[in-house]
A = this chain, B = another copy of it.
């Protein structure tokens, strides 16, 4: 159980001599990055893009995907732009993303196997098509473009905010520009 390990480690840390290296409160590079939650991105962005601790605000979800202008990811992006000194927005997807060719039907089946009732699934689906809500994508560039479009066309984003769409390759570290935001 990770919680117990974490608390044990934390207690030692707090009692120890190691001091906290305080990051800046605001992003040093005045930017916000929306990227994917996958673990392989953790060191990749630091090493291949030189995004060090404290450089940018980072928003993460499954696939760096935002399609709904009322989603909390969009809320976070707006807060970063208006209140957290981010004047450049980056959407960074990646090759070998788990969301590619993801089949929501298998997940819905798994929900049933793990004890979620037919009724719960139906209740949820009453407000939202579950397969569509969970869906992945076939082309990573399409997902990045969709996210960029939602952000760029958001009625509450200042019009002159550059929003870049990028794809990084976890094997080579190479970054490709899909949407050049300037």
Contacts and interface: CB of A to CB of B under 8 A. Distances in A.
Interface string A9-37: 11001100010111111111111100001
Interface extent on A, as a size class?
35 or more
* Total copies of the chain: 2
Given A62-B79, A111-B82, A49 B158 contact: no
A59 B56 contact: no
B102 A173 contact: no
Contacts of A70: 127-128, 133
Interface of A: 1-3, 5-7, 9-10, 13-14, 18, 20-32, 37-40, 42-44, 47-51, 53-62, 65-66, 68-73, 75-76, 78-80, 82-84, 88, 90, 96, 98-99, 102, 107, 110-111, 114-116, 120-121, 123-124, 127-128, 133-134, 155-160, 162, 164, 170-175, 177, 180-182
A107 B82 contact: yes
B47 A21 contact: yes
Contacts of A65: 72
Contact of A111 (B1, B54, B156): B156
